[in-house]
Amino acid sequence: MPLFQIIFNPTSASELGKMPRELQLEILGQFRGLPHAAMTSELERFGHLERDGKTLYRFRLGDYRVYFERHELGVVVHRIMNKNTLKDFLFRSSLPLGEDSALQDNPKFWESIDAAARKG
């Protein structure tokens, strides 16, 4: 089996690095089952958002939401957001709370993802 990589772009690495060490370890520990899921159709169990042929998956980890995409070597993590930060983002964008479809159709969300990708 090829080596599976979880790649953090600079934005998601910074977001993870600002968290308490115990929380970092908890979040990283939750990625244990991800290699198998990411390489099979089991990704359907995650929330997903699509735009211009690009699919982001949402992985819920307690109070955090991890947004990632499939990559030939594994996955690329784009953002790690506290659910309260996400609610604030949705509120400021005048969208209903907790809706993947609302995020999917929101250009500001994709701008934040694209800006994070450009930093890499």
Average pLDDT over residues 16-22: 94
Average pLDDT over residues 18-33: 86
Whether this prediction's pTM lies above 0.75 is answered by no
Q: Domain total for the chain?
A: 1
Residues spanned by the domain of 107 = 5-118
What residue spans of the chain are helical by DSSP H? 10-17, 21-29, 34-38, 83-92, 100-104, 107-118
Mean predicted lDDT score pLDDT of the chain:
79
- The CATH code of the domain that includes 37 is 3.30.2310.20
Average pLDDT over residues 24-46: 73
What's the pLDDT tens digit per position in 37-94?
Answer: 666 666 777 788 888 888 888 888 888 888 888 888 778 899 998 888 766 676 566 6
The pairing of strands 54-61 and 74-82 is unpaired
CB 39 within 8 A of CB 4: yes
